[in-house]
Structures are given as C-alpha cells and as structure tokens.
Amino acid sequence: MKIVVIGAGVVGVTTAYFLNRQGFDVVVVDRGQEPASETSFANGGQISVSHAEPWANPTALRRAARWLLRADAPLRLRLRADPRQWLWLAGFVRECTNARTRRNIGELVRLGIYSRAVLQRLRDEAGLAYDQRMRGILHFYTDPREFEAAHEPARLMREFGCERSIVSVDEAIAIEPALRHARALLVGATFTPADESGDAHAFTVQLAARCRAAGVEFRMGHQVTALRASGTRIEHVEAIDAHGRYEAIRASRYVLAAGSYSPLLAAPLGIRLAVYPAKGYSVTMPVRDTSRAFEVSLTDDEHKLVFSRLGDRLRIAGTAELAGYDRRLDLDRCRAMLRRIEQLMPGAGDAASARFWSGLRPSTPSNLPYVGGTRIANLYLNTGHGTLGWTLACGSAKALADLIAGRQPDVDFAFCGPQAARGASSTSSIRETIPQ
C-alpha cells in the first residue's frame, strides 16, 4: 500500500522511516531541496522530557502581563488582524488551568519517555551519529520566584515517570562545572539524567538517507498546493515542482506532517487545526575555550533559552514570538542570546563566528501534537509538536505507523481521530481535529 507523507522535517522523515519498516510503500513530498531545511534545521537540540511544562500553565498569564511591557521579553506577542491567531490565543487561555496543565504534562511526559526510548533504539539499529550526548539536562534558575514555581511542575513530572529532581547550586556546578563562573547568579536547579541532546538536522538528513536506501522515495522541491478530496477520501496531492510543472501524486493514504503549514493545507478540507507558528531563534558558534564551555545540555528558565553542545559547536536557542509566518531575524534578540552566554560562561564560544537562525515552531495551545486520524478516512496527522518536535518525533512517528497499520501503539496518548478510538485506553482521551 502506498502512503504519501507531506513534509520532510524531523517529524515527516521519522514517520516515513517507521511506515517503511511496517512494509508500506512511502513517498515523501517536500518543497525544500533537502530534508530538515525548515524548523528542524537548527533547533535547541534537546531531547527533553523534562521540558514537558507547556507555555500555557497557571502562571502564564501573570508572566505574560509582565513580559508584554519588556522589549527583550523571552515571549512576545504581535497582535495581528488574523482570526487564527485570536482563536489560538483563546485556546491558550483555556489551557492555563491547573487541571489542563496537569493533564497536558502527563500526556507529554508519557509520549516523551516513549519517544526517547524509540530514538535510542533507532539510533543503535540505524547506526546514526548526530553529535548526541547522553548526559542529562540541567535546568538552572537565577530568579528565586521562578525556581520556587518550578517545584510543582517538576513534582508532577516525577509523578508521571520523568526523573526530574531538585538540586542545589553546588550540585548543579558539580554536574556542569562550566557554570562555576555564574555561581553568584544561581539560586537552584533541577536535573534529569535520562534526557539527551543532539543535532536534529544531522539526525534527519542521515535518517532520510537510510530511508532512501530502504526504498522510500523523496520528491524534494515540490510545493504541495492542495489535498484534493472526493467524498470522504483524499484522491490526490496536488504539487508544483521546481520547474513550475503541476503533478498529481496519488496514494492510498496520506500523512500531513508539514509543521506550521499543516493547518493551511487542512483548512480547505474543513479540518481546523489549532496550530500557529511561534518564531524562535538560535545561535551556533564554535567552542573557543573548552575549559569554559558547557558539556551538559542546559535550560535557562528565566531567559527561556536552551543550550546544547554539538561536537565542537555551542548551540543556544529559544525565545518565542507569535507574529504569523514572518521568519525575519531580529538581530537584537540574537545578540541578547550571545550576551547571556557571555554573562554565564565568559569566553566559552567564539561570538565573532556566530551564525543566527530563526524557525517557526508548529505550536498548539496545549503543546500536545496532533497524532492520529481525521474524519477523512485516508488522511492522518503528525503535526503541531511545538517546543518539543525533536523530543517527540520518534515516538509520534512509531505510534502513528502502528495506528495506520491497525496496531495498538505501545504508548498511551491522546491520539486524535476516529481511528484512535479503537486502540485507546481508559486514561487517554480522543481529541477531535478542531481547536482545543
């Protein structure tokens, strides 16, 4: 049976891999020349189950009010005349209750732990090397109120099985000695030893090569313009190639994994996905002084930045702007990231050689992705992974391939669509493909 996957980011490529392993004949269609050329290109690199607290949580509205007044705030909202943005914001406000946050953390921790294990198996099986580091993730705090506020979500994560423990400043510096220069700023930390980091772009490009070798076809340079339906089935995908030639690509089933652009392709079919782009930035620079550079992946909660060591490079990523599909680099924001690393670990990186990048996180109000079916019988979704697309990609892909093959996934998660209802357990709820 032939399946078309739309999107060759980390989510689309992992989906293609697991579908191919299930014996399906897979075609991946993407407008880029290479896989992982959009949001999966230069992200924060963290495989972070410990990052399961969604932006929407009981403290979010208080913090947002504070941040709205600051030009350099880690989260920024540019209100637009865009009903999709307002609907998304209304959904976000609904997710800020204690009950929703608890439920969302539970779902993300379950899928995250599963996904991390699937990644580890896949990495060994396929022999992938992508500057991975298995040294845990240390969240550090420089504001006592933020540290205090982190205790409850960390406790919740432990309740759901993620070993995120509270550690003292001395313990944090013992875990990552490069933080010694910042001792006076630190007030505490949490540590999750099982979390990892690695280069999502290198991983995706290598996995795509393995997929090709196993018979997956990649139609790169193809812009999908529409999914054409007849009755309750997709008939074909309409695409335009790099020479402007129109093509109808037919298959028995279709998976939409187009990141922030998924809702634009789903909307004409009457499927409303609450996915909105949240722009983030990253800085990548060579290590200048190894004795000062971090080895363990870090999260700076106050500035909403993550740090990953990728071989002899330092990657710092974060901040979020809800400003539509605009990917322009705001150099002030990029320089603010450089200032922060210089403040914490002076001389660690070669700032003169820094490369800046921006990407659009495909964000849902709850931070839960859409994984599963739709009311169109042969259309499936694997999209909306927001801040955690690299962390959740392998687990989402394996679970979706199981669902498509008619098997019950090995993970309990709020899959979407009628197909999920057959395999759902009592603890997971079935989500509809309407705004959450």
Ligand X SMILES: Cc1cc2nc3c(=O)[nH]c(=O)nc-3n(C[C@H](O)[C@H](O)[C@H](O)COP(=O)(O)OP(=O)(O)OC[C@H]3O[C@@H](n4cnc5c(N)ncnc54)[C@H](O)[C@@H]3O)c2cc1C
In whole angstroms, give the CA distance from residue 118 to residue 296: 22
* Binding flag, residue 4, ligand X (CB under 6 A): no
Of these, 280, 349, 373, 409, which contacts ligand X (CB under 6 A)? 280
Alpha-carbon span 266 to 263, nearest angstrom = 5
- Binding ligand X (rule: CB under 6 A), the pick from 7, 188, 198, 372 is 7
For residue 309, the one-letter residue type is R
Binding ligand X (rule: CB under 6 A), the pick from 387, 396, 419, 433 is 387
Report the DSSP pairing between strands 305-310 and 297-300.
antiparallel
> If you count DSSP H runs as helices and E runs as strands, how many of each does the chain have, helices first?
11, 20
Of the candidates 219, 246, 249, 245, which has an alpha carbon nearest to the alpha carbon of residue 234?
A: 249
Query: Does residue 361 belong to the site contacting ligand X (CB under 6 A)?
Result: yes
Give the E-state strand segments of 351-397 in sequence order. 355-363, 370-373, 379-383
List the interface residues with ligand X, window 251-270 (CB under 6 A).
Answer: 257-259, 261, 265
Q: Give the E-state strand segments of 57-150 in sequence order.
A: 75-77, 137-141
Which region among 5-13, 122-130, 246-254, 409-417 touches ligand X (by CB under 6 A)? Answer: 5-13
E strands in 344-412: 355-363, 370-373, 379-383
The owner of tokens 């004409």 is 268
Q: Can you tell me which of 3, 4, 5, 8 binds ligand X, judged by CB under 6 A?
A: 8
Indicate whether 395 belongs to the interface with ligand X (CB under 6 A).
no
Q: Which residue stretch of 19-27, 31-39, 67-75, 172-180 sits at the interface with ligand X (rule: CB under 6 A)?
A: 31-39
Q: Does 372 bind ligand X (CB under 6 A)?
A: no
Q: Does 366 bind ligand X (CB under 6 A)?
A: no
State in angstroms the smallest separation of the CB of 422 from ligand X: 25
Spatial contact of 258 and 224, defined as CB atoms under 8 Å apart: yes
- Comparing CB distances to ligand X, the nearer of 54 and 424 is 54
Q: Distances from the Cα of 26 to the Cαs of 6, 211, 219, 408, 412, in angstroms?
A: 11, 9, 11, 21, 26
Residue 281 pairs with which residues in a beta bridge?
318, 358
Secondary element (H or E) of residue 12: helix 10-21
Among 59, 120, 223, 408, binds ligand X (CB under 6 A): 223
Residue 120 binding ligand X, by CB under 6 A = no
Choice from 76, 303, 385, 431 touching ligand X (CB under 6 A): 385
Residue numbers 297-356 binding ligand X by CB under 6 A: 306, 317-318
Residues at the contact surface with ligand X, assessed by CB under 6 A: 7-12, 29-32, 37-40, 43-46, 48, 223-224, 257-259, 261, 265, 280-282, 306, 317-318, 359, 361-362, 383, 385-391
